[in-house]
């Protein structure tokens, strides 16, 4: 049977979704709201397996709903006598909110997204009754807020699956992988193995960022600080260029038949042993300092002239010392994450936390503007059809089309996702028809209603827990729950049901067509834009006279690599080469920052030597 594929986590998630939905419905009924099904559907929309993810979005969803309702109250009464201007106003509002949300890329983005399509949800159906728009807006805000609060309460505090538990487990695994990769790099392992581990570490660091954005809202008893996690991300990020640089220097020395000296080889082996068996926190600092001092003692003396061999040895030992320091810092920060106290576990942790800054993210204004413009065009074209034909349920089709464009606007090709949502809507409408006209008319009390709704909602909740079936299931739940008749008073009007269902399907299909015309750019184009954005920033860093920000550069490039990997996978090709090229660009950017710092700290003669090199790098990457 299909249900045997699901485990305990999916079953628990489904039960929690069902309890939250029924609780929201009951509360909405008790306080006399006219369309309590909005509370039910909202509780499913906010459902997330992780407690922190639910709560992080809940606050911004409520604020966005209120802001969107206020926009509708302002626009509808003032522009209702000019349908063209009202359509334009609602379309531009949604487009603006979508544009801002795509640039934000934090849970705060949900505030703007909800503000955008809530105005459409309230505004378009209120065109026929503009005088009641404030009442309608107030009711929708209450209904949606109840759904958000019930979903947040159940998923956040009833058998919660915390972000902290998953985060700490991932940190341990990532640290073990990073230390193994550094050991293999120092041992001269095969290029293929190193490249694979290097790509994995880059993606793992990006995964930590995705988890970290929900950490402040988590419900774990001992909550790690986001600042500590950001510091750990920064240290893990430094491992990529440092270990690669050490490996390159060793290879280059061996290529010239000039291997590192025996003392240096002994030091490298001791570093590998130190990484293989990490000492406890009390011994970690002294042993790391001893290794760093040995590396510095072996550095060649720098005189007026420095031959290439000694320059390589100097660079190798300097990078090796920095690598040991980065691994020591990562281990200290890992212990700080697990500490029940906020007091730094080592003096190094205090310094690391003091210098940490907000992690910069990649932002593509062109893609965001295209998605916003496509959404505006979709709504305007839909309004032309609605107003031109005089279709009574056309407002529903327009708002569904706009919502689909907004919800899936962050995708390079939204059409497949909207199609999956469309197929789910068909399934939901079929089930809704059976319930609305064959089952619910026989229900006479609330307990019986809960019992008859339980089977499809519990099954749907289990499919909702899986990413592969999420969109179809969400379409089925929203399509079914919005039309089955969960109002303050039950009434089964077949013509209204058919017209409302047709409007949903037409709006969804219309969105499929318009996103193909206006919003589809393809994974290959998006990947090229990410790569070229890195080149442009690298060229700008080379030309800039400002003090370099190595941590900011590494964080932005790792974010781009995290965005690049799934797009390369969608093209059906091995992402290895492009990702390795991006990591190479990352290392070049670190070297550019070091050259710029040398130019700032050095004499005028030294600056005169460094500046042409930086200009050449900038020219190469343009």
CB neighbours of residue 343 within 10 Å: 9
**Does the pLDDT value for residue 70 go beyond 90?**
yes
**Cβ(298)–Cβ(264) under 8 Å?**
yes
Rounded to an integer, the average pLDDT of 39-56 is: 86
3-state secondary structure of 161: strand
Contact 45, 64 (CB under 8 A): no
Taking the C-alpha atoms of residue 168 and residue 98, their distance in angstroms, rounded to an integer, is: 33
88, pLDDT greater than 50: yes
- With cut-offs at 50, 70 and 90, classify the pLDDT of residue 94: very high
Model confidence at 4, pLDDT cuts 50, 70, 90, reads very low
Percent of the chain with pLDDT over 70: 93
For the chain, give the mean pLDDT: 85
Average pLDDT over residues 152-170: 86
Lowest mean pLDDT among 26-35, 123-132, 369-378, 450-459: 123-132
- Answer whether residue 458 shows pLDDT above 90: yes
Mean pLDDT of 407-425: 89
**Per-residue pLDDT at 150 exceeds 50:** yes
Mean pLDDT across the stretch 322-328? Answer: 91
Q: pLDDT at position 519, please?
A: 78
Task: Select the highest-mean-pLDDT range: 234-243, 475-484, 492-501.
Answer: 475-484
Rounded distance between C-alpha atoms, residue 496 and residue 185, angstroms:
68
Highest mean pLDDT out of 17-26, 296-305, 538-547, 593-602: 17-26
- Radius of gyration over alpha carbons of the chain, in Å? 29
What is the arithmetic mean of pLDDT over 184-208? Answer: 71
pLDDT of the residue at 30: 92
Q: Model confidence at 486, in pLDDT bands (50, 70, 90)? A: confident
The model's pLDDT over 217-259, given as tens digits with 9 standing for 90+, comes to 777 777 777 788 888 887 887 787 788 788 878 877 777 656 6
pLDDT (average), residues 342-358:
80
* pLDDT value for 413: 85
464 neighbors 8 (Cβ within 8 angstroms): no
- Alpha carbon separation from 381 to 96, 117, 230, 397, 518 (Å, rounded): 18, 17, 45, 11, 12
Q: What pLDDT is recorded for position 1?
A: 42
Match domain 163-355 to its CATH number in 1.10.3470, 2.60.40, 3.30.470, 1.20.58: 1.20.58
**Contacts with 298 (C-beta within 8 Å, 6 or more apart), sequence order:** 261, 263, 264, 267, 313, 317
pLDDT at 494: 84
3-state SS class at 356: coil
DSSP per-residue codes, 467-504 = GGGHHHHHHHHHHHHTTTT-SSS----HHHHHHHHHHH
What's the whole-number mean pLDDT along residues 101-125?
A: 87
First to last CA, the chain: 57
- Does residue 27 register a pLDDT over 70? yes
The confidence band for 351, taking pLDDT boundaries of 50, 70 and 90, is confident
The Cα–Cα gap between 143 and 221 comes to 31
CA distance 89 to 108: 23
3-class DSSP assignment, residue 519:
coil
Coil vs helix vs strand at 345: coil
Q: Which residues sit opposite 161 in a β-bridge? A: 50
Q: How far apart are CA 328 and CA 335, in angstroms?
A: 11
Across the range 55-78, mean pLDDT stands at 88
Model pLDDT, residue 29: 92
Question: Which secondary structure element, helix H or strand E, spans residue 454, and what is its range?
Answer: helix 446-464
| pLDDT > 90? residue 455 | yes
Least trusted range by pLDDT, from 89-103, 238-252, 260-274 = 238-252
The band of 377, judged by pLDDT with boundaries at 50, 70 and 90, is very high
- Which whole number is the average pLDDT over 111-140? 87
pLDDT given for residue 575 in this prediction: 55
CA–CA gap between residue 123 and residue 226 (Å, rounded): 39
What is the reported pLDDT for 424? 94
Average pLDDT over residues 434-445: 91
Q: Please give the pLDDT value at position 3.
A: 46
d(CA 400, CA 60): 22
92 falls in which pLDDT band (50, 70, 90)? Answer: very high
Average pLDDT over residues 549-570: 78
Q: In DSSP terms, which residues pair with 50 in a beta bridge?
A: 161
Give the CA distances from residue 338 to residues 156, 271, 331, 345, in Å, rounded to whole numbers and listed in that order: 21, 25, 11, 10
- pLDDT, residue 2, reads 47
Please give the pLDDT value at position 6. 62
């Amino acid at each position: 049977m299909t249900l045997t594929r699901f485990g305990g986590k999916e079953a628990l998630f489904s039960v929690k979704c069902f309890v939250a939905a029924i609780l929201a419905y009951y509360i909405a009924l008790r306080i006399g709201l006219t369309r309590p099904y909005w509370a039910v559907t909202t509780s499913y929309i906010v459902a997330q397996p992780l407690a922190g993810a639910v709560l992080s979005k809940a606050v911004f969803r409520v604020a966005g709903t209120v802001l969107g309702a206020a926009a509708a109250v302002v626009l509808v009464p003032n522009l209702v006598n000019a349908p063209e201007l009202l359509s334009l106003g609602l379309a531009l509002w949604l487009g603006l909110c979508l544009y801002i949300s795509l640039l934000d890329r934090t849970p705060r983005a949900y505030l703007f997204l909800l503000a955008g399509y809530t105005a459409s949800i309230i505004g378009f159906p209120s065109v026929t009754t503009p005088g009641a728009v404030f009442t309608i807006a107030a009711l929708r805000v209450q209904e949606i807020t109840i759904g958000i609060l019930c979903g947040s309460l159940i998923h956040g505090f009833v058998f919660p699956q915390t972000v902290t538990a998953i985060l700490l487990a991932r940190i341990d695994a990532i640290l073990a992988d990073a230390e193994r990769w550094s050991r293999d790099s120092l041992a001269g392992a095969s290029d293929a193995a190193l490249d694979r581990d290097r790509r994995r570490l880059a993606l793992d660091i990006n995964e930590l960022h995705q988890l970290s954005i929900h950490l402040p809202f988590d419900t774990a008893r001992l909550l790690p600080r986001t600042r500590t996690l950001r510091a750990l991300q920064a240290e893990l990020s430094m491992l990529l260029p440092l270990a690669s640089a050490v490996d390159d220097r060793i290879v280059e020395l061996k290529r010239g038949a000039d291997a590192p000296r025996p003392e240096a080889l002994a030091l490298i082996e001791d570093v590998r042993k130190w990484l293989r068996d990490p000492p406890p926190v009390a011994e970690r600092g002294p042993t790391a300092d001893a290794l760093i001092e040995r590396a510095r003692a072996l550095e060649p003396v720098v005189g007026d002239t420095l031959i290439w061999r000694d320059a390589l040895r100097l660079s190798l030992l300097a990078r090796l010392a920095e690598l040991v320091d980065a691994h020591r810092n990562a281990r200290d920060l890992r212990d700080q994450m697990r500490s029940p106290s906020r007091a730094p576990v080592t003096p190094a942790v205090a310094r690391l936390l003091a210098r940490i800054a907000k992690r910069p993210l990649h932002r593509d204004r062109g893609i965001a503007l295209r998605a916003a413009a496509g959404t505006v065009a979709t709504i305007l074209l839909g309004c032309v059809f609605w107003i031109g034909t005089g279709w009574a349920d056309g407002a529903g089709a327009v708002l569904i089309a706009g919502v689909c464009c907004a919800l899936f606007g962050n995708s390079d090709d939204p059409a497949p996702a909207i199609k999956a949502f469309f197929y789910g809507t068909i399934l939901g409408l079929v089930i809704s028809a059976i319930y609305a006209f064959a089952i619910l008319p026989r229900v006479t009390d609330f307990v019986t209603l809960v019992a008859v709704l339980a089977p499809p909602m519990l099954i749907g909740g289990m499919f909702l827990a899986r990413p592969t079936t999420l969109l179809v299931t969400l379409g089925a739940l929203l399509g079914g729950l919005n039309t089955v008749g969960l109002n303050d008073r039950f009434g089964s009007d077949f013509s209204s049901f058919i017209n409302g269902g047709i409007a949903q399907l037409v709006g969804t299909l219309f969105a499929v067509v318009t996103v193909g015309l206006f919003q589809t750019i393809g994974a290959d184009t998006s990947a090229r834009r990410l790569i070229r954005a890195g080149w442009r920033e690298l060229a700008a860093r080379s030309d800039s006279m400002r003090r370099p920000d190595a941590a900011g550069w590494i964080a932005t490039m790792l974010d781009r690599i995290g965005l690049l990997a799934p797009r390369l996978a969608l093209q059906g090709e091995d992402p290895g080469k492009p990702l390795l090229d991006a990591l190479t660009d990352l290392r070049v950017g670190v070297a550019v920052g070091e050259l710029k710092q040398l130019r700032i700290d050095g004499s005028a003669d030294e600056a005169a030597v460094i500046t042409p090199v930086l200009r050449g790098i900038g020219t190469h990457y343009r």
